[in-house]
Structure 1
């Protein structure tokens, strides 16, 4: 059951049946090049379980992105709760398969999730946490109206925090 559908994309909740796709996505060295390392299959299962808990607790999490027309798996995108400088923040996150990058899918999914954050979940402030070297991720944040606010240590790493009032 889709959470939302756009002209090109459908977003839905993750299930355990998504493990192969998520393990491939999160285990891809290109997709994860701005993370400390790619994730293992077991860590991909933990990722799915974490998002399922988020759905129950908050009504949102990262959702599976697929092409509306074909159902092809594209990646994940959605909203999570993150701690930044001691404050709980709603973060917009996204990962897109290497073969689907540079087609505007991340921007389309992120803009849709930004709108859901405001309209469906009543989020007043949205952030994106990016590796300062990750130009494509920073560009997506900027395209959907988030602006560089500061740098902070998140999970022990220096990160650029993009933010916007919704």
Structure 2
């Protein structure tokens, strides 16, 4: 019997839940939006959004975390996704916090609020000792989010064969 994956606790404005098959329309719209995906090689197709859900459902099973659907607590409105994924940076697997917010809801601090909750979940629940954000050099809004949640610029690196800015923090281990 599989148990539901844990999620970060709700924040003042946001709730988190695992991605489900029923989220395909919202995620396809989010990941297919050229404005949301402007720092990616290209927007994702509906089939790729289906793969995004499958990938995260595998991460929940295998790792106990992934990207979660983010909703406004007050209305249940779909905000985007935010969470934790293992990512390769210069040949090393790092734990990354990532986030996508619908264009209509950007500029309200929602990415920062969601990413801070995921940072705390990584540190306090998963016991992670390091967290990174992998950001394209021209993605200044995402770099601001990373800095606001305590992940300062560390170095220029390569991820998925692309140059990136690696923002990172390390926490002490607790024995």
TM-score (norm 2): 0.93
Question: 150-159 or 40-49, which moves further after superposition?
Answer: 150-159
Aligned to 1:63: 68
Equivalences for residues 1-166 of structure 1 within 5 A:
3=7, 4-166=9-171
The secondary structure found in structure 2 opposite 1:146 is coil
Q: Which is strand-richer, 1 or 2?
A: 1
Deviation at residue 53 of structure 1 after TM alignment: 0.4
User: Deviations 1:19-59 (Å, cap 9, x if unpaired)?
Assistant: 00000000000000000000000000000000000001111
* Unpaired runs of at least 5, structure 1: none
The secondary structure found in structure 1 opposite 2:80 is strand
The secondary structure found in structure 1 opposite 2:56 is helix
- Which 4+ residue blocks in structure 1 deviate beyond 3 angstroms? none
Deviation at residue 139 of structure 1 after TM alignment: 0.2
Alpha-carbon distance between aligned partners in 2 of 1:16 and 1:61, rounded to the nearest angstrom:
15
Alpha-carbon distance between aligned partners in 1 of 2:79 and 2:88, rounded to the nearest angstrom:
27
The number of residue pairs the alignment matches comes to: 166
The secondary structure found in structure 2 opposite 1:19 is helix
Deviation at residue 85 of structure 1 after TM alignment: 1.4
Q: Cα RMSD over matched residues?
A: 1.0
* Unpaired runs of at least 5, structure 2: none
